């Protein structure tokens, strides 16, 4: 295979691993190309906290040595991988975006990362995250700010902003993010790539101290649905550390992408508001037009008109209470080194009573029952992923967000009201690029399925991707051209 480094950077994982298996290219070539791009874009995009050049090249050499005529290789063998810096990686610095953990070197991988490593994926670096992943802006005192791959005057989104920017700019092929309120789907939509929050328990979460009350997920960010499906197949499966994973049936999600079939007879609910009152008119037009891709595959699109009240106020009580319990102990010593918006969130949690927290937990169950009830009528529900394209740099967590020229409220309620409900309910949700706004930035479509329907959600996503492909679209990135 005679290809240049630019082309190599954007090849899907399945094509890369197939070419490595046939010895048409080497893992060393692919990994080196990814490392070079990652390092060259640090000055402009700033997508990494740590780049693992020496370890990655060492593993690439080993991956190439394992290729033989008789070997059965994983579809991820020798493919470059990045991991959000909230997730433990054995022997590789894991800062959680905080100066508190600047020199934290975990002794073991998180379960999902261990599985990807065993499948032959090669870690090239740890991607940026705001401190403890607390906001949808990928900035923190430890590394500065990560900017959008398409426009460096816009934010990357967050909290998996580094992963999404790396995916969009070809800085590695496979990317692992986390999602506690939309943190995979927000930056994926803002940067025009695929990002999936699986069903609660599909990918075991062994790092959350509250397994029973968990609302944070580990999932893939890639340029194609098939690559996300391949990652999910490897990462998924029950593990004793996660109560929600126990008893789950293993599925080959890649099959859903390889043989997606059609959507004949399927009913898809469409809703353009979810507790918000304002959406950018062009985002709405682009997203509605993209539904034609699903209709062309045989689906019936039905507008949903039932009222929906934003769950963000009680999501915030649950979320901030968890943060306070987990990270509040660091304030006394580290206050001056911590992000101001994180400190404000931790301080707000002091005002919640135990009864208020329990009421929020009850409301979480009510919301689950409401959302699961949608699927008595619909096979899938689709929404925009964001109410507008990526925000301008300079915005932060407690600022008012401008949508359609109007102040629309705080960022969680106004910019991504479509994502955090499904963190609370546990339903699988995937974001896909739906088009481009006149401001030059990508827009996103979110597909949600019934509980534990990850296979069907991937199948629907792949059908959409086939009808409306975007893989060839690449951002212009300074220092690479």
Catalytic positions: 84, 159, 183
C-alpha span between 470 and 72 (Å, rounded): 31
Q: What is the torsion angle, in degrees rounded to the nearest 10, for the CA atoms of residue 252, residue 256, residue 257 and residue 262? A: 170
Name the residue among 395, 385, 480, 442 with its Cα closest to residue 153: 395
Spatial separation of the C-alpha atoms in residues 137 and 397, rounded to whole Å: 7
Q: What is the largest CA-CA distance in the chain?
A: 64
Q: Cα separation of 379 and 76, whole Å? A: 31
Rounded-to-10 torsion of CA 198, 305, 298, 435: -70
Of 113, 29, 127, 118, nearest to 77 (Cα)? 118
Where b means 16+ CB within 10 Å and e means fewer, 48-77 reads: bbbbbeebbbebbeebbeebeeeeebbbbb
Query: 395-408 as b/e, with b when 16 or more CB fall inside 10 Å?
Result: bbbeeebbbeeeeb
């Amino acid at each position: 295979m005679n290809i240049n480094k630019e082309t190599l950077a954007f090849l899907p994982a399945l094509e890369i691993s197939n070419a490595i298996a046939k010895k048409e290219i080497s893992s060393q070539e692919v990994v080196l190309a990814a490392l070079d791009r990652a390092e060259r874009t640090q000055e402009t995009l700033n997508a990494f906290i740590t780049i693992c050049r020496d370890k990655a090249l060492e593993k690439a050499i080993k991956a190439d040595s394992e290729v033989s005529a008789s070997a059965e290789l994983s579809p991820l063998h020798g493919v470059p991988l990045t991991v959000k810096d909230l997730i433990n990686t054995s022997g590789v610095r894991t800062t959680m975006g905080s100066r508190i953990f600047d020199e934290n070197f975990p002794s073991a991988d998180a379960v999902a990362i261990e599985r990807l490593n065993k499948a032959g994926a090669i870690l090239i670096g740890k991607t940026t995250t705001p401190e403890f992943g607390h906001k949808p802006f990928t900035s923190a005192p430890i590394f500065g700010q990560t900017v959008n791959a398409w426009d460096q005057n816009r934010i990357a989104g967050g909290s998996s902003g580094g992963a999404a920017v790396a995916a969009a700019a070809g800085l590695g092929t496979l990317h692992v993010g986390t999602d506690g309120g939309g943190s995979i789907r927000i930056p994926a939509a803002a940067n025009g790539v695929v990002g999936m929050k699986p069903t609660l328990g599909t990918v075991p979460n062994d790092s959350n101290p509250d397994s029973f009350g968990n609302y944070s997920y580990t999932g893939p960010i890639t340029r194609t649905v098939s690559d996300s499906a391949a990652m999910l197949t490897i990462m998924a499966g029950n593990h004793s550390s996660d109560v929600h994973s126990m008893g789950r049936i293993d599925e080959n999600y890649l099959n859903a992408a390889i043989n997606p079939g059609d959507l004949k007879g399927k009913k898809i609910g469409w809703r353009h508001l979810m507790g918000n009152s304002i959406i950018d008119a062009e985002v709405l037009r682009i997203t509605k037009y993209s539904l034609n891709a699903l209709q062309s595959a045989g689906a019936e699109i039905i507008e949903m008109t039932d009222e929906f009240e934003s769950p963000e106020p009680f999501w915030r009580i649950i979320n901030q209470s968890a943060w306070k319990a987990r990270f509040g102990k660091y304030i006394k010593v580290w206050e001056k080194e911590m992000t101001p918006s994180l400190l404000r969130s931790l301080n707000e949690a002091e005002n919640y009573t135990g009864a208020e927290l329990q009421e929020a937990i009850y409301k979480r169950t009510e919301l689950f029952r409401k959302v699961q009830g949608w699927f008595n009528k619909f096979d899938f529900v689709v929404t925009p992923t964001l109410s507008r394209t990526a925000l301008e740099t300079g915005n932060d967590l407690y600022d008012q967000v401008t949508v359609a020229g109007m102040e629309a409220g705080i960022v969680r309620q106004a910019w991504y009201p479509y994502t955090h409900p499904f963190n609370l309910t546990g339903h699988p949700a995937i974001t896909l690029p739906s088009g481009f706004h006149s401001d030059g930035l990508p827009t996103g479509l979110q597909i949600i399925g019934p509980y534990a329907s990850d296979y069907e959600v991937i199948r629907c996503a792949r059908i959409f991707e086939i009808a409306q492909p975007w893989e060839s679209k690449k951002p212009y990135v300074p220092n690479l051209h």
